[in-house]
Amino acid sequence: MTKTAIVLPGTAPAATRATTDDQIIASWLANLGSALSRAKFGATAERLVAELARRGLTLRTATVEDVRDIVAVLGEGKAPATARQYAQRVKSLLSYAHRLGYLQFNAGAAVRTRSGGSDLAKRIASETEIALLIRAAPTKRDRLLIEVGYAGGLRVSELVAVTWGDVIPRADGSAQISVLGKGDKLRQVVLPGIVSRSLLASRGDAPASAPLFPSRKGGAPLLARAVNRMLKIAAAKAGVNSDISAHWLRHAHASHALDRGATIAEVKDTLGHANISTTSAYLHARPGSSSGRVLDSGVFLR
């Protein structure tokens, strides 16, 4: 006998098996492709649930005013960009829960987040600052890491995850890197010649499974926080903005490459901002150009 779902007047059947806040959050997190994103979004959801519980509330009983108040608490004392990320994650969760029928209304839709405005411009280092940062790197490994991060426009999570098996030497002497980005999307990044030569020369007898940038303890991959800590040390030595982080290298790549004539399409493909269609995937499997190649080679000169 086939069971028929009972739908109350004025309601729609839920498209999820979740019956508790923890279950809908788990479903939401499972929908995210990147492990790093799941960790960050999960931490925000955990804080949201804790604040709700402190008020005797759940996702289903929270009002717009409750959500607005909690979003303000989550962002208290944080940089505007960080507070905005918290708010966007909360809105994403509530929207997901409402869309699947777990929530009767989307309280997050009425919570407004401030636009980033000119924040991005403040996080773009100049070519001179990048050059100074490279030269102030504490070690040869750190210098190469900064060079590859900037030249490839890589996210810090991508940078520390790359292994030698992901590096493809090309006939022209350049290095092509297979990068697994957000949503497990694979893209190909070609480094400029001067960085390629330094990278390929640094391999030694490292096996394909070895990370490009191992830690000094046991050869395990560097952690993202170790990369950012190193950049702070280099920034202090170079006398550049102390707020700099690995993601600033990515911002700088995009800005500098566009300034030097790279097309928007090249930059999107290199940074992994755009989804690549089935047909264009063939064109970019062995790219003839990459936005990193138009960067000023003088930045990397020793």
Q: From residue 69, how far is each of 13, 42, 62 by CA, in Å?
A: 30, 20, 11
Looking at per-residue confidence, does 132 or 293 come out higher?
Answer: 132
Q: Are residues 138 and 199 in the same domain?
A: yes
CATH of the domain at 129: 1.10.443.10
155 counts as catalytic: yes
247 is catalytic: yes
> Which residue would you say has higher pLDDT here, 42 or 13?
42
pLDDT in tens, 190-235: 999 999 999 999 999 999 999 999 988 777 888 988 999 999 999 9
Q: How far is CA 209 from CA 144, 188, 206, 213, 258, in A?
A: 19, 18, 8, 12, 34
- Rounded to whole angstroms, the Cα distance separating 73 from 47 reads 10
Instruction: Decide which of 117, 150, 175 is a domain's last residue.
Output: 117
Active-site entry in 182, 197, 268, 284: 182
The residue from 155, 251, 256, 293 that is catalytic is 155
Choosing from 40, 60, 98, 273, the catalytic residue is: 273
* Residue 151 falls inside a structural domain: yes
Task: Say whether both 142 and 227 belong to one domain.
Answer: yes
Is residue 160 domain-shared with residue 289, that is, in the same domain?
Answer: yes
Q: Does residue 251 register a pLDDT over 70?
A: yes
pLDDT in tens, 53-102: 999 999 999 999 999 999 988 888 777 778 888 888 888 888 889 888 99
**Local structure of 57: helix, strand or coil:** coil
What pLDDT was estimated at residue 183?
75
Q: CA 48 to CA 55: how far, in whole Å?
A: 11
78 is catalytic: no
Are residues 134 and 193 located together in one domain of the fold?
Answer: yes
| Of the residues 117, 132, 156, the one at which a domain ends | 117
Annotated active-site residue 253? The verdict is no
pLDDT above 50: residue 302: yes
CATH code of the domain containing 53:
1.10.150.130
Q: Is 284 one of the catalytic residues?
A: no
Domain containing 269 equals 121-300
Same domain? 138 vs 54: no
Same domain, 105 and 203: no
Do 68 and 128 fall into the same domain?
A: no
Q: Examine the fold and report which residue of 84, 117, 150 is the final residue of a domain before the chain moves on.
A: 117
**203 annotated active-site:** no
